Chain A
Amino acid sequence: MAEAPILEVKNLRVEFPTRRGTLVAVDDISFSIAPGEVLGVVGESGAGKSMTGAAVIGLIEPPGRIAGGSISLAGRRIDDLPYEEMRKVRGREIGAIFQDPLTSLNPLYTIGRQITETILTHLPVSPAEAQQRAIGLLREVGIPAAEKRIDHYPHQFSGGMRQRVVIALALAANPKLIIADEPTTALDVSIQAQIIALIKKLCCEHGAAVMLVTHDMGVIAETADRVAVMYAGRIAEIGPVRDVIKAARHPYTDGLMASIPKVGRTDARLAQIDGAMPRLNAIPRGCAFNPRCTKAFDRCRAERPEPMRVGNSDVACWLYDAGQGGTR
């Protein structure tokens, strides 16, 4: 990774103060994304992956807050910017794609108005130029008869088409980074591949890096360059997608991979990880995964593992600590 990263997150911590104490939704995570790179973030619901995305665009719902660490975009720190400064970053430098295209668009305005509004907010162009640019964007995301469709309302589009509009909106001001939070979860399976391919193609053409948050390993395998596996607010393993999928190092990643059905395999039962991810107010001491881990030993229950370099990946697991001999 010779190039300076477009996004660098260091020791990020997101907390939710509640009446019964503070919940830590994201606990001391660090990662970076290189320009043009696609980083997949996977994990179960509640693992903190969407929260990490929200932290990067600065839209954590109060009372949640960033309690520590730093987020830098192209070398500039953005987690402590005042609201108005951060607003200028959103949309202009970081684009977002949300999960549900049916609810991401305002039903009362035409899609054209929503796109030109975004363009005019961020770029010094005339309304006519913005209109032209909007039509161009709609064409790019594959909406037929874009000149005509631009005057239509969201309810006149299908789910897949609406997600294309959302992608056009995310790209409207040519951001350097796109945060796609489960962009295909709400779509028909038949559309999912198209949308993922479209995101990948367009971000490549626009030179935008992507942080792709999903719980779908298949999507990650197809799209991502690197992948971060999150568990209970921490990163269990982060590395090149090939290494993580083919040779998962962390027992959690290993279990996750084994639980994906594969065509042609005739095992009677699918492997599963026993138990459930701990709730945020009951994260066990030591490694958060230790109660479910088949390879856990004493140290896992006592000390929290920090990410360790193993091959091309960073793995937070005591199995790979030099002192333990690094056997597996």
Chain B
Amino acid sequence: MIAFVVQRLLQSVLVMLAVAFISFALFRYIGDPVLIMLGQDFTREQYEMLVRDLGLDQPFYVQFAKFVVSAVQGEFGISYRLARPVAQLIAERLPATLELSMMAALLALTIGVPMGVYTGLRRDSWLSRFFLTISLVGVSLPTFLIGILLILVFAVQLGVLPSFGRGDVVKFGSWSTGFLTTSGLKALVLPAVTLCLFQLTLIMRLVRSEMLEVLRTDYIKFARARGLQNRAVNFGHALKNTLVPVITITGLQIGGIIAFAIVTETVFQWPGMGLLFIQSVNNADVPVMAAYLLLVGFFFVVINLVVDLLYYVVDPRLRIDRGAASGH
């Protein structure tokens, strides 16, 4: 178990180094940052001085090492556009994105799993068919369209929910939360629904197909032959066996939700990292883009690590055998 964790951690470090390299390359080779900083008028001496100051005359690997060291310390440089430390900018935006993403993931799981179980157990009921038809909409409509449609209905026509922003937030140190005010919660509804819809339908369809698969297995038939109650068979035996693939996909999806909150945040002008990223792309604000890339990579790595550990919890076959299978 410990060996497994250590191995996974080492792998994670390698992945992070690779991501760091890509974002470093982005930083270094998309245009000349010195030219961008100096603006229109400068002398040759000014240019060379800035290159020396920034350490850009040093060999490539020294620069990369410096980049990694400062990134580990949370130093990502100064935003070109806002002239403020990138780390500070991201720290301000992070709570908004995380709250939105977590809310969307939570919605997707708490609604998607029961719907999947229901449609798996009651294959032929009209409600199952209805869910499946609706889920096609969730899978096939692009996020921005769903967001705009929701705004049209709930913000413009019914006027019950705000169409943009985060509402009032409460500060806890550096963390700002919208969970504690009515306007904050109201503002969260539309973006969270928009963001979760795709994941929800995906999880529902996944749970459904896994349930159908598991319900055909011998151990489920045998559990029924043992006279166990339906609830015990369906939830105790069947659902638990569907969890490994569901955890895998959900884990990847949470990473995806954070990364692709970009679209939703743009539609709803949600003041999170995604919106920051889009604005940075528009202004070629490379330090912010590089930091964002690193951060999203980091989230994916952490989530994958958690997913791997959850496998261990769920499936005893992956745990190290205490007593190997005995003879006959």
Contacts and interface: CB of A to CB of B under 8 A. Distances in A.
B324 A156 contact: yes
A156 B237 CA distance: 19
Interface in B201-231: 217-219, 221-230
Contacts of A92: 227
B328 A121 contact: no
B317 interface: yes
B225 A96 contact: yes
A239 to B, nearest CB: 29
B325 A106 contact: no
Interface string A90-128: 111000101110011111111000000110011000000
B221 A106 contact: no
B39 interface: no
A104 B223 CA distance: 8
A152 B323 contact: yes
Contacts of B127: none
A191 interface: yes
B208 to A, nearest CB: 18
B241 A108 contact: yes
A125 B323 CA distance: 30
A173 B219 CA distance: 18
A121 to B, nearest CB: 6
Interface in B303-328: 314-317, 321-328
A157 interface: yes
Contacts of B322: 152, 156
B237 A90 contact: no
B226 A169 contact: yes
Interface in A128-171: 144, 148-149, 152-153, 155-161, 166, 169
B232 interface: yes
B316 A153 contact: yes
A158 B328 contact: yes
A280 B230 CA distance: 32
Contacts of B324: 156
A149 B328 CA distance: 14
B240 interface: yes
Contacts of B230: 87
Contact of B232 (A57, A105, A117): A117
Contact of A108 (B227, B314, B321, B326): B314
B120 to A, nearest CB: 15
Assign chain B's interface to a size class.
20 to 34
Contacts of B237: 106, 109
A157 B240 contact: no
A302 interface: no
A105 B316 CA distance: 13
Nearest to B218: A103
Contact of B228 (A98, A121, A188): A121
Given A90-B227, A108-B240, A156 B321 contact: yes
Question: Which of B219, B224, B230, B241 gathers the greatest number of chain A CB atoms within 10 Å?
Answer: B219
A157 B325 contact: yes
A172 B226 contact: yes
Question: Which of B323, B324, B326 gathers the greatest number of chain A CB atoms within 10 Å?
Answer: B326
B241 A118 contact: no
Nearest to A144: B326
Contacts of A106: 219, 223, 237, 241
Contact of A160 (B223, B224, B228, B328): B328
Contacts of A107: 219, 241, 315-317
Given A91-B226, A118-B227, A59 B221 contact: yes
A107 to B, nearest CB: 6
Given A153-B317, A155-B316, A91 B228 contact: yes
A108 B238 CA distance: 10
A89 interface: yes
B316 A87 contact: no
B215 to A, nearest CB: 11
A88 interface: yes
Given A104-B218, A107-B219, A118 B226 contact: yes
A121 B325 contact: no
A183 to B, nearest CB: 12
B189 to A, nearest CB: 37
B217 A103 contact: yes
Contacts of A87: 224, 227-230
A103 B219 CA distance: 6
A188 B228 CA distance: 30
Contacts of A191: 328
Contacts of B228: 87, 91, 117-118, 121
B310 to A, nearest CB: 13
A141 B166 CA distance: 65
Nearest to A143: B326
Contacts of B225: 57, 59, 90-91, 96, 98
Contact of A158 (B229, B236, B327): B327
B222 A98 contact: yes
Contacts of B321: 156
Contacts of B241: 106-108
Interface string A224-262: 000000000000000000000000000000000000000
B232 A121 contact: yes
Contacts of B325: 155-158, 161
Contact of A157 (B222, B227, B315, B326): B326
Given A107-B219, A117-B232, A90 B226 contact: yes
Given A59-B225, A117-B232, A156 B323 contact: yes
8 contacts: A59-B224, A90-B226, A91-B225, A96-B222, A104-B218, A104-B219, A105-B222, A107-B315
Q: Which 4 A-B pairs have the closest CB atoms?
A: A91-B227, A90-B227, A96-B225, A103-B218
Given A90-B226, A155-B325, A158-B326, 10 more contacts: A57-B225, A59-B221, A89-B227, A90-B224, A90-B227, A96-B226, A98-B222, A107-B315, A108-B315, A121-B229
